[in-house]
Structure 1
Amino acid sequence: MKNFYNSSIIGILSLSFLLFFGNSFSVIAQSGSVFVTTDKNDYPPGATVLISGYGFWPEETVSLQITHYDDWGDNSAEVHQPWIISSDGQGNISSSWYIPTDQDEFGATLLLTAIGSLSGEKAEWLFTDNGNFSYTTTPGKYASLSTTAGAINSSTLSVDVESPKNNGTFTVSLSFSNQSGTTIGIGSGSGQINLTSISNSFETGGPNGPVVTKSFPVSVAVGSSVPNGTYQFQAIAISSTGDPTNNKEWKFDVIVGSGSTGGSIGSVLIGTQSNIVTYGTSTTTSYSITSARGSNGNVNGTYSVSGLPPGVTSVFSLVNFNSTGSDLFPGTNLELTVPNDLDAGSYDFSVTLSDGGSLASTIGTLVVSKKNLAVTAVTGDITYG
């Protein structure tokens, strides 16, 4: 449910008129709170604000004005000057106000004031001009994925969705569609690409509430008969209450096989062991790893290691990367922690760089040395028996 912000409603209208007709008279009493509001709490730039209110004197002129709350904006601009309307026979008012796109309204909290010219009654209402979701690729994740037909990936693509304040509490999910020029279906068929994500709850309060950002990882399942190529999609956030809205979207690519713009991995190389590892001592050692592309284009690379001896654990300084065009691949550092009970000897293991469509591997060697034994010579006579 959306949380509405109620501003102060100032004044109680209470008046009595004595109307004399010969020897008789009637008493007409009007009382009640004046109130003014807008049709939404939050608007995007360029939107029209619909204003309504009640409790004013019948058919009195009412002054309406919208200014920056806390006076941080330019209230001298023409758009912030008051305008005059008339209430109807029941004291109700209605009007509208256009939010300019070329001034200082974006991100502002705005104050609507209504004052009756005869009654002197005043009502106020706060609303905001934020209006739209905004999107950025989640730090450490990407807006493109290289994969193969039949593969599933849920660790590469992710978008951060930011919702402005003053929209209350609501749930958000992502809606996916094709970009122009991409005709492949979105779905679970063998010739389709299925795109799914999670839902997140947003609590953005009123005009002074927080701006909220949540991450939405995107899972991609490519049908087994999807041909190689680059497929372009987009996502928008959908609110359970209908607000905020969207004036842009998050765009991303799914590259199947080599893709029309997909690059490939050429080689991966591993350096020598950084220090001596000795049996009987728990030791950490490391290896420098470099790699090179096979062809230009987009590559989402992932480093992995396999074949380590029992008890040895590994950590990469960089696991995933995205490289476009002819950019060089970033290297990484592999750190191995060797337990004290691993027998002396040489152990081969494999380091692989993969992007889902191409891969390269190399062999590294972990050398565990024997423990040096200290021998103490004994002097003097030794008697047998």
Structure 2
Amino acid sequence: MPDEYQFHGGERTLWGMRPTWCEIDVSAIAHNVETLAARLPDVDICAVVKADAYTHGAIPVAHAAIEAGASWLAVALVEEGVQLRNAGIDAPILVLSEPSPSGMLGVVFNRLTPTLYTPEGVRAAGEEARSAGITLDVEVSVDTGMRRVGAEPDEVMGVIESVIADDSLTLGGVWTHCAVADELENDFTQVQFDRFDRVLEKLHTGGGEAVRRHAGNSAVAIAHEAHGYDMVRCGIAMYGVDPSAELHGRAKLQPALSLHSKVSFVKQIDAGDGVGYGHHWHAPTDRWLATVPIGYADGVRRDLGLRGGEVLINGIRRPIVGVVTMDQLMVDLGDDSSVSVDDEVVLIGPQGDDVITAAEVADRLDTIPYEVLCAIGPRVSRTYV
């Protein structure tokens, strides 16, 4: 394959038309899977690759995670599971929300494991499995306090019993999701574990003790190892990002993604010149300004410069000035005339002795690293190293 081509989302795209790209270090993905697995011996790792693996690329990340020891994959949508199957990935794939009745055909045809939590979902899964002449592995989710999806604790046994009663379905697992596991002083996580344990005790009494049990996300894997149960679902930590600042450094994670561009234009501007739409920034003195070909259509928030956002050029932090436009942003170089067209710009990642992390960008934007990463759009080419 010519070097100018790279794969993203299973499609071939021309590389080099615009010097803006992400580098994904698949060895970092493997390292993080192995690091998390070492914290939880005898517990399976489920690699969460929804949302195109948090923008890292679901197919290459899935391959790297499985090779590093992950035994399951998890997605949010049936379509995401289909994409993995079309790429030849044969590992078990858990769909984290209950598919619609019309989506059950895709579940059955692609051998996905759906999460169920309503009588309607159980009925739809069973009917589709019977039509296909197969027995479908399913899991049931119980809402212990996230209040997003899942059966209520006092109703979940009814869902479980409906699954067990259907000869076309096999109860493979029961799980829940923690809402505040990344907050070490918040005792609600233990409340959720206790509620989950009570459901599991009812299940054990009913003879269903052999199913997979899991409650853990990345924060549980890092900070609540005693509640790993049979499997943990690792998302953000697999990509080398701490689930929260409170958990920073508790696991030796390696960030897998860096975001790059190159200077496309340099000019000198006069003191008092306004920069960008709305002229939200004016040059305090005569100075140099660089234009970088990446914008909010690529996932860089429009207000990043107004909130103190910076980039690295030649190993030096430089402030983004004015508002980020759809396709470009501007950087204040001060009196430094040494920056040239084609100099590399780092928006996330290391350069020289400095580094800009996704967490730093998130802090400036009053959000979380998950959103910063997932915002990076498909116009940004991905290259795998």
TM-score by length of 2: 0.22
Structure with higher Rg: it is: 1
Greater percentage in strand: 1
Greater percentage in helix: 2
Higher relative contact order (CA 8 A, sep 6+): 2
TM-score by length of 1: 0.22
